[in-house]
Chain A
Amino acid sequence: MPKLNGGEIIIESLKKENVDVVFGYPGGAVINLYDALYNSKMKHYLGRHEQGVIHAADGYARSSGKVGVCIATSGPGGTNLVTGLANAQMDSIPLVAFTGQVSSSLIGKDAFQEADITGISLPVTKHNFLVTDIKDLARTIKEAFYIARTGRPGPVLIDLAKDVTQAVAEFDYPDQVNLPGYRPTFEGHKLQINKAAKAINEAKKPLLYVGGGAVISGAQSEIRQMVEKAKIPITTTLMALGIYPEDQDLALEMLGMHGTQYANKATLETDLLIAVGARFDDRVTGKLDEFAAQADIIQIDIDPAEIGKNLDVEVPIVGDVKKVLKELLPYIKEKENGEWQQRIKELKEKYPLQYEADESETIKPQYIMEEIDKYTKGDATIVTEVGQHQMWAAQFHKYKKPRQFITSGGLGTMGYGLPAAIGAQIGQPEEKVVLIAGDGSIQMNIQELGTAQAYNIPVKIIIFNNKYLGMVRQWQEFFFDKRYSSTKIPAPDFVKMGDAYGIWSKSIDQKSELDTALKEAMEHNGPAILDVHIPEEENVYPMVPAGAGLKDMIGG
């Protein structure tokens, strides 16, 4: 068996896990690992901040469906990862993060750049490890990847004492993991599946409520069959936009706080809610005891702890979405559900998603989304920051395929979008990747423009510039009597900023300019920034105030 040092063992282990791309930022505690990278064929992307690095790995994971890998040094390198870990944990994204640690003999001595990153990251990782003996290194990496990608995916952190990456040992990558305390359930219970089939066959107004779990599971074709076989209308969470094409008759698009009126109204009328890899988040349900109050609930989820966590369900099924639906489909009777289909059609006609369009030269954010949809033929991968622009991006673009919309849902992390878009582009080099950014959010990891430029990553950055932290301003308008406390945020000159990084940039404020500007940005060979001035006080509608029931929607 070959003798390798710790750094080389990591590289070889990554190869065994089919990793060919890593994101990272060097430092003293990982210098041995970087030395090993120097001679390897592994593609390493140097970010500009460890938060950017981990969000890029996360965007890469979401767009490619693979495990994202990142590297940071000890102390501040590790602590800079924390937001990214929490973000991935909330959205169930598979990541393996390597951090350097001081040498094992120095741990606990407040050594230079020492931080207890396993302690700090405990509540924001699926699991973490501290490796102090090179003999444990390969096995730990094997376990980390297994834990990150199986069951309900999530981030796993491996903290590496510096002497471990220096030491030399025989490299022997295990074929199998031995984790007696970790056995996710994949197959649904037969009896429960039968019960679900019966309920679905008997329901008069069934409704599919599909979430991120269906995307993770790769269940788009089973979802489509469910919809089409028994004519079951489908609404999705923010995390599953595009799992079923949104331009279809039975597609109700997003539900929840900023969901469509027809989706939310359908949840009020349905007699059977079929939750598929969705976790009854409070942004979705509003007031819990009013949510789907007329309905029995079937819930399919791989994580038993999600079943009944927020709402009692009649038919729980623990298992992988794709596997469970495959089992379930043969029992589902073909049906027309004519009256219900008719009602859905009515709801869609009566309460369409709309905004006040006018003939003036102001550029409405919703209009920009429609134009992007048109220009890219609905085919681009849309990545967002967090705020109003994120909701417009969700609402006014028809998503047609899974992994087409990449956003920070659970943590709502401003500053996620730019690095995630870079990672998403690296994960899908053939796709057009468009970042929809707020003028506030993009300033939170703006330094990653350096990364986009350095590797000529052709992300198209569209800034929805309203000169406000718009989402918070909207709440202040509605619920605090327009007392705009600290939400006015003067933007820098984004064109000059782009220039400084050597990135193609342009700013526009007239509707008639949009067409050409979009075209120029999209066709530019490399990253591009299009700063679009939108009305300062445009609001996101419809809206369910926090804690209210879905019937109490404002506007739309």
Chain B
Amino acid sequence: MTENRSYLLQGNQACAYGALAGGVDFFAGYPITPSTEIAEILASELPRQGGRFIQMEDEIGSIAAIIGASIAGAKSMTATSGPGFSLMQESMGYAYMAEVPCVVVDVQRGGPSTGLPTKVSQADTMQAKWGTHGDYYPIVLAAASISECFHMTVRAVNLSEKFRSPVVLLLDEVLGHMRERITIPDKSELELVERRKPTVPPEWFKPFELTPTHISPMAGYGEGYRFHCTGLTHDSSGFPTSDPAEIKDKLDKLKLKITQNSDEICTYKQEHIDDCHIVVIAYGVAARVAQQAVRIARHKRFKVGLFQPDTIWPFPEKALRKALENADLAIVAELNQGQLINEVKRIAHSKVKVDGIFRYDGDIMTPHEIVKKIREAN
């Protein structure tokens, strides 16, 4: 890839090139439709750039390998789809608990189970939030264009490094395989984040030190800092604890490093919010449809706007509340039976009616389906 040139790329390709641009130097994966192109490109490109690729024996091995590689010091990533994402959940919990930066791309397909391997869906929205057991606060991004497949992969790597946390990037079958024009930015235009390294003498190093930002410096292997890492609830030195105060400190740390920094993590886009009575809320590929629907409806002089979260977890709560200030109707458009709508209902003022338009038959909704809903409301 040459920088500053335009290419016609598929979302999966853009995601793979975004990983390389974001500094990913370790990828482990297992073949699964519709995400496989990401692995294929990185298998070819990573060794050319001094990085490493491995095809593991399953998705459980893939997530384990990227966590091991990240703790060793690599920027690591895997990509999968529903069934693989389900298999990864246990060790994703490990990565939340042990605060391991890594990126998991889920190119969503229809489910449950084997579902619809070659058809679009956004039904992993809640799984990305609650997929593994226990209390934890994930960072989940949803891309809506090929350009975002590139840039959000870079951002996912950066967020994972900064917050010492797994970051899930949700794509879907349509984005993964759809082609759009994308300009690959110059490396100098991309800001890359590196995890904070310890500066204290090794004997003082605490891998899970409590800090004001709740983020602790992290050492790699062979850097002189020997430390213990476990999925058992641990104290700031990394060793298992059963002390109630230390247990609470750990779980608060996992929560606060995300919730206290949510203004930095959360991004969103909005259109025509200032004068609208109806706000269409959509994310991922459905937001592209919603964008078009809002344009058509405005053309027909409906006072309608669009709110599109890039970060669905944590949800840009303050921004949505503000966007709904003058509205009396919110329409949530999703390619599932209604998942993020519950979050919108939780956030919306009581005077706002929240309605949904859901499609889950394997096809993407059309702008006219949303326009029809807008028309019905008026």
Q: Do A and B bind each other?
A: no
Interface positions of B (Cβ within 8 A of A): none
Interface, chain A (partner B; CB < 8 A): none
